[in-house]
Structure 1
Amino acid sequence: MPRDEYQRQLQRLREDVLEMSDRVCERLERALAALETQDDNLATAVITGDHAINDRYLELEQACIELVALQQPVATDLRVVAASFKIITDLERIADLAVNLAEYARRAERRRYADVDIGYIGERVVEMVEAAMAAYAADDAASARDVAAEDDKIDRRCESASEFVVRDLLETELEAEIGLTPDALSDEVSRMLLTIRDLERVGDHAVNIAARTLYMVENDDELIY
């Protein structure tokens, strides 16, 4: 294969990875909107649409395999392919977490924890994914490191939110005016804790994307874990 065509294939791969990230972020934002509005139809659309993300992942996985098998890239080009392969894996897992969030939205019966700002945490982790992908698109190592630094803030906010939910559970007396049976309260607590956990995991996947970008650009594995 002529060198020009090979470079076009590498560039097309990167463009396709960015297109996949746009679709995943859109689904994540729709899942967060479903949580905020308790919109069952929106939640269902996120859940049923997940197969399209899975199909796209498999297509890009095959593209990565073919580039390695047929072109045997070395050095920088090999890092591009390897990073792209790892990034689409993280994107697919973020899409799975969006499905989880949509499922929580469908099961929620009331909004007990209005003081837990899920919307704010959700916005921040979406921004982290977008920033990580922008770093990938621009070969921007500094921005990749910034994503990892932002994750520390998200971890602290998620920890505080989880502690608030647990403390509320311990302090709650199941009196008649509360209107919750023990099982109903347990379901609400579990749903909220799982929501916080999955948003934190989205942030972790954003860091993974940043780590692979840093490795791709500078051959630096400091963020890989």
Structure 2
Amino acid sequence: MARNTYQSRLNQLEEDVLYLSELTAERVRFALDALEDKDERKAQEVIEGDREINRIYLDLEQDCIDLLALQQPVAGDLRFIAASFKIITDLERIGDLATNLAQYAIDAENDVYAEVDIRRIGDAALDMVDQAMDAYETEDTDLCHSVAERDDNLDTMCDNASQSIVRDLMNGDDFEGDGDLEPETALVDVRRLLLTVRDLERIGDHAVNVAARTLYMIDNDDSLLF
């Protein structure tokens, strides 16, 4: 493979990874909108769009394999391809989590525990993903470390939300909405809310993974990988 063609394929790989990140972030935002507005149409759009994310992921996976097999890259190019290979896996999983959130929006029958600001938690997780991908695009090591540091704050937000839900449930406090809900129905709604918080926390974890792989790509620094 000619060197200029090889470099062109590396550049295209980066552009395609960035496109996948934009697409998955959009899906998460749509899912958050669906949760907030109880918009079943938008939720269904997210679920149906997961097939496109999976297709792009598989195409990029094959691109990475081809570059590794045909060119046998070394040093920086090797780290770039390997990091991109790992990053697209995290992005695909973020897409799966967006699908989960959309399904929760469809399944939701009642407004429960309005004090838990799902949108605020979701926006914080998405900001981490955006920052991690900015680090990948600009090769900014400071941004990589910033994403990892912000994960503690997201974890605290999620822990506080989950603990509040469980504590009030055990204390018998009423949830927002119909006060005459059957206990079994209320428990289903609470479980869905806890799963929503958990999946948002996982989106943040994937953002940290992207930042860690990016830091390794830039500086051969594995300090965020463990």
Give the alignment's TM-score, normalised by structure 2.
0.97
Unaligned runs of 5+ in 2: none
Deviation at 1:8, TM superposition (A): 1.1
| Equivalence for 1:34 | 34
Aligned-partner Cα distance in 2 for 1:13–1:159 = 37
Question: Is 2:213 the counterpart of 1:212?
Answer: yes
| Equivalence for 1:49 | 49
Unaligned runs of 5+ in 1: none
Q: Give SS of 1:222's match.
A: coil
What does the per-residue CA deviation read over 1:164-218, in whole Å, with 9 as the maximum and x for residues that have no partner? 00011101168xx821111111101100100000000000000000000000001
| Equivalence for 2:111 | 111
Q: Percent identity?
A: 55
Q: Give SS of 1:28's match.
A: helix
| Equivalence for 1:180 | 181
Aligned-partner Cα distance in 2 for 1:100–1:205 = 15
- Aligned pairs for 1:62-141 (under 5 A) are 62-141=62-141
Aligned-partner Cα distance in 2 for 1:171–1:179 = 17
Question: Is 2:156 the counterpart of 1:156?
Answer: yes
CA RMSD of aligned residues (A): 1.1
Q: Give SS of 1:111's match.
A: coil
Runs of 4+ in structure 1 over 2 Å off: none
Aligned-partner Cα distance in 1 for 2:76–2:216 = 10
Aligned-partner Cα distance in 2 for 1:214–1:111 = 41
**Counterpart amino acid of 1:216?**
M
Aligned length: 223
What does the per-residue CA deviation read over 1:73-114, in whole Å, with 9 as the maximum and x for residues that have no partner? 001100000000000000000000000000000111111211
Aligned-partner Cα distance in 1 for 2:172–2:179 = 9
Aligned-partner Cα distance in 1 for 2:192–2:32 = 14
Deviation at 1:5, TM superposition (A): 1.4
Give the alignment's TM-score, normalised by structure 1.
0.97
**Counterpart amino acid of 1:206?**
A
